[in-house]
Structure 1
Amino acid sequence: MKLPIDLPRPLVRLPQSFWAPTAGSLRGWALASVVVNAGITVSGAAVRVTGSGLGCPTWPRCTPDSFVPVPHPEVSMVNMLVEFGNRLVTFLVLAVGLACVVAAMRLAPRRRSLLVLAWLQPAGIVAQALWGGLVVNTMLNPFTVGMHYLISIALTAACWALYQRAGEGDGPVRRVVHRDIRRLGHVLLAAVFALLVAGVVVTGTGPHSGDELASRFDLDIETVARLHADLAYLVVGLTLALAFALHVTDAPRHARRAALALLGIELAQGVIGYVQYFLGVPALLVGLHVLGSTLVWIGALRAVTALRTRDHLGGPAASPSPTEAVVTA
């Protein structure tokens, strides 16, 4: 008696998506990698706001005698489980990253550009894990904690680049908007990164250190918070300028939608930021703000990559967009 053909299909599709990949399935794994890297930034924030940064006081073991949480006289089991859970998320991120590598290696024809971007993921995750050990060994020094977050941001950018490139060819970069608009996009991306760095400084100065033994930046919280807010205003202004420029030049629809989506995320993030500030920085809103910062970063990456494309090598040249026709006229 034969089993129904549809019965094992979901179980077969998953391994086939990276063992016998298409460009579409590789792109799906890259998007999954973006999601799990965003997720680990949120789980890291949960560790900090719950005071669980030293829940597992050693690394790579959770305690000096065990890799998994066991009763410890000086550490709450709840804090230990929260920190250990964050460490487990690393293995999920690594598994998805390795799936991207396998898919890129087995894609036919193999594309070197995708392979390089795919290998950045497991390499970065290993570096991130080793840096996590440094975070524990330095007793949650705010510099090492901040770098932990920024490494995740860099990994997210690499994952987004893989997602974008998997849907393109390997030809030269071809802009689909006026060159000055594309430059504006690059300035916006740099401003968003500066905003994230400022947010790291605010976090390293504020109350949620991850543990009462952790040190803090010796800075005035009001000053760094205002700097962070000023950068946020700059980012929103640049996003408005980008959205307006794309609208008046009749840029491709996907580019206009990406800019408007980024603006919406930024406004929501701004509301969360102000509410948490006036409510005394409650833990739940801090976690939402970290999630928002990651979404702003992904939105900025999407908006900037929507301003250019690549054609397939040896393929026919794509017709220029209406904007390009005006520029080159």
Structure 2
Amino acid sequence: MSTTTPAAGTAPAGLAARLPQRLTKATMALAVASLASEIGIIVTGGAVRLTGSGLGCPTWPKCSPESLTNTPEMGIHGYIEFGNRTLTFVLVVIAAAMFLSLWNLRGTHRSPFWLSVGLLAGIPAQALVGGVVVLTNLNPWWVAGHFIVSSIMVAVATLLVVRIAAERRAGRAGVPLVDGATTGRSRAAAWAAFALTWAAVYLGTVVTGTGPHSGDPGSPRHEFDPLLVTRAHVIPVYLLLAAALVLFFTVRRAAGASRLQRAAVLRLLLALVFQAAVGYTQHFTGLPIGVVLLHMLGSALLVAAATETWDRQVARYVTAGPGVPVEAAAPTRTVAAG
């Protein structure tokens, strides 16, 4: 009697048979949940810092040298910090479900699958950097690094949402992601807006590290001039507004531009105006906690909007279609003019 051993790197036949064989509404829902949870963890992490609970658990990976969890003696700050740590497991569950839902489609829908791998692998990176933040007494450079990593995860989750939606909408191989024409000017403006978004986010973390909300009274702060770094932060914001306006009017006039492309640019402009309004409000009102938290939410929304806009203008990605090997969908550039 002979037996057959599954090939290395493949799921057991029994498990694979229980996993989805095509993209479904549930797959799309998981992608949206991935994006929402990554934005959510930025907001809850901000709440930890703004309530002075950054060292509510004074060590890592345990909450204290003696306990894995917080204890009543740690007070409200311990509950807040440990509660935020446990949310990591929510992210893991969602990311693992996303990965498994795409496992049988890894050959036909390679881009969404590898984005799901990136999300699942990125969560431990988030946790490790967060651990270093605690072990360095909330060093502002490490706090900034943690925020950047979390923002990258928002960008990856955004790509996952956009591309799964494109796959489900197209239903066949070789459909360009952008679903419309691009021009040299629109692609350049999209690249500029994407890069300037990240510049603004990074300089925003420097402003934060110079400000009063350290997460703990004994944590170090940057010794920069607060007004100087704030002025430096708004430079890429103004440039981003200019790039977004150029892109908006370029896409609006382009005869072959799609509704999705135009909607993406409009979302970028709305996110930018919202974020700028909140930023100026917090600056001139003395950085109240609620407004600062709203600014952190705005940052995540801006990253998501800039990522979608950029991807719809410059991506070479084309849909694979159900049951069609990726190789059958030629990786040609999306329709372009000018």
> Given the two structures, how large is their TM-score scaled by the length of structure 2?
0.83
Which of the numbers 196, 210, 216 marks the counterpart of 2:215?
A: 210
The answer to whether the aligner puts 1:22 opposite 2:22 as a matched pair is yes
Question: Paired residue for 1:310, among 290, 293, 318?
Answer: 318
Query: Of the candidates 239, 245, 253, which is equivalent to residue 250 of structure 2?
Result: 245
Q: Is the CA contact 1:90–1:129 (under 8 Å) kept in the aligned structure 2? A: yes
Q: Which runs of 4+ in 1 moved over 4 A?
A: 169-175, 315-318
Aligned-partner Cα distance in 2 for 1:315–1:125: 31
Moved more, 274-283 or 247-256: 247-256
| Contact persistence 1:311–1:317 (CA under 8 A) | no
- 1:147 matched to which residue of 2? 145
Cα separation, 1, equivalents of 2:230 and 2:88: 30
Q: Which residue of 1 aligns with 2:48?
A: 47
SS at match of 2:187: helix
Q: CA deviation at 1:64?
A: 1.7
Contact 2:174 2:330 survives alignment (8 Å): no
The within-5 A match list for 1:287-306 is: 287-306=293-312
Which residue matches 1:4? none
Match in the other structure for 1:5:
none
Query: SS at 1:23's partner residue?
Result: coil
Partner of 1:123: 121
1:111-150: per-residue Cα shift (whole Å, max 9, x none)? 3333322111121101111111111110000011110110
Tell me the secondary structure at the aligned position of residue 102 of structure 2.
Answer: helix
- Matched AA of 1:147: G
Which residue in the other structure is 1:12 paired with? none
Counterpart residue type for residue 205 of structure 1: T
The equivalent residue for 2:9 is: none
1:273 has 2:279 as partner: yes
For 1:181-220, list aligned pairs within 5 A. 181-220=186-225
- Please list the CA deviations of residues 6-57 of structure 1 after superposition, one character each: whole Å capped at 9, or x if unmatched: xxxxxxxxxx9x9325324333312211110000000010011100000011
User: CA 1:174 to 1:211, structure 2 compared with 1: closer, same or farther past 3 Å?
Assistant: closer
| Residues 64, 52 of structure 1: alpha-carbon distance in 2 compared, 3 angstrom cutoff | same
Give the direction of change, closer, same or farther, for the CA distance of 1:174–1:295 in structure 2 (3 Å limit).
Answer: closer
Q: Which whole-Å deviations, capped at 9, do the CAs of 1:61-92 have from their partners, x for residues lacking one?
A: 112222222133xx4x1111111111011111
Q: Which amino acid aligns with 2:299?
A: S
Q: How many residues align?
A: 304
Q: Hey, what's the Cα distance between the residues in 2 that align with 1:196 and 1:95? A: 28
Residue correspondence of structure 1 range 220-235 to structure 2 within 5 A:
220-235=225-240
Per-residue CA deviations over 1:300-324 (Å, capped at 9, x if unaligned) read 1111222255144546999x86xx4
Can you give the 5+ residue segments of structure 2 that lack an aligned partner in the other structure? 1-15, 321-325
- Residue 33 of structure 2 aligns with an amino acid whose one-letter code is A
Which residue identity does 2:275 align to in structure 1? Q
* Residue 104 of structure 1, CA deviation: 1.4
Identity %: 35
Tell me the equivalent position of 1:8: none
Work out the CA distance in 2 between the residues paired with 1:123 and 1:223: 37
Question: What is the rounded CA distance, in whole Å, between the counterparts of 1:260 and 1:39 in structure 2?
Answer: 23
Please say if residues 181 and 242 of structure 1, whose CA atoms lie closer than 8 Å, have aligned partners that are also in contact.
Answer: yes
CA distance in 2, matches of 1:127, 1:151: 8
Partner of 1:284: 290
The amino acid of 1:260's aligned partner reads: L
Distance 1:291 1:285 in 2: 10
Q: Is the 8 A contact 2:55 2:137 kept in 1?
A: yes
Give yes or no for the alignment of 1:236 onto 2:237.
no
Amino acid of the residue matched to residue 252 of structure 2?
H
SS in 2 for 1:177: coil
Q: What 5-or-longer segments of structure 1 have no aligned partner?
A: 1-15
For 1:87, the equivalent position in structure 2 comes to: 85
Residue 41 of structure 2 corresponds to residue 36 of structure 1: no
CA drift of 1:165 comes to 2.8
1:57 corresponding residue in structure 2:
58
CA distance in 2, matches of 1:174, 1:135: 38
Q: Does the CA-based 8 Å contact 1:52-1:80 persist in structure 2? A: yes
**Aligned amino acid, residue 230 of structure 1:** I
Q: Distance in 2 between matches of 1:279 and 1:114?
A: 43
